[in-house]
Amino acid sequence: MSGEQDRIVSLVLDEKSIVRWSPEVEHERNVAVFDLLESNRFCLRDGFAGPYALRLSLRDATLILDVTGEAPAQSAEIALAVRPLRRVIKDYFLICESYYQAIKGATPSRIEAIDMARRGLHNEGSEILRDALQAKVELDLATARRLFTLVCVLHLRR
């Protein structure tokens, strides 16, 4: 990647995909968006240079990444089947629910064990997402992790 231009500078979640979330989910979304915009590496392969504006949405069982550049003609749509992520998203939702319940009164060791499992599933989903995008987008693991969080948030509607 060539540097500062290879990054997302604007991120929008599709309004039609947004539903009312719990405070915990809203917090996770806000943190993921903030952290992503603060620091990310994202570069289209065989495409135009950044910086990029990104719009994430779900269309049926497909994740859509609408990527635009600085010039009006610079745009690309990347469609990615969500099917390879379904199991890990489902498991991630279940472990997150357990985590949110645990922080209300479980022992610190129980909370830590659940959090380790949660982070493991998050890492697994991030790697699957990164691998699925590899042919079209070059991104670092931290960016993939934040994008995976946002994919999960969008997936709540389904």
Q: pLDDT tens digit string along 90-115?
A: 999 899 889 889 989 999 999 999 99
Q: What residues form DSSP beta bridges with 8?
A: 52
Residue 2 lies in a domain: no
For the chain, how many structural domains are there in total?
Answer: 1
Residue 1 lies in a domain: no
Structural contact between residues 111 and 104, judged by C-beta atoms closer than 8 angstroms: no
Residue 3 lies in a domain: no
Name the DSSP letter for residue 5. Answer: T
Residue type, 78: I
Euclidean distance between CA atoms 18 and 113, whole angstroms: 31
Give the global pTM. Answer: 0.86
Asked if pLDDT for residue 158 goes beyond 60, the answer is: no
Structural contact between residues 90 and 73, judged by C-beta atoms closer than 8 angstroms: no
Residue 77 lies in a domain: yes
Q: Return the axis-axis angle of helices 141-155 and 108-133, rounded to nearest 10°.
A: 100
The 10 Å Cβ neighbour count of residue 154 is 22
Q: Which domain holds residue 102?
A: 8-155
Predicted pLDDT at 93: 86
Residue 85 lies in a domain: yes
Residue 94 lies in a domain: yes
Residue 144 lies in a domain: yes
Residue 71 lies in a domain: yes
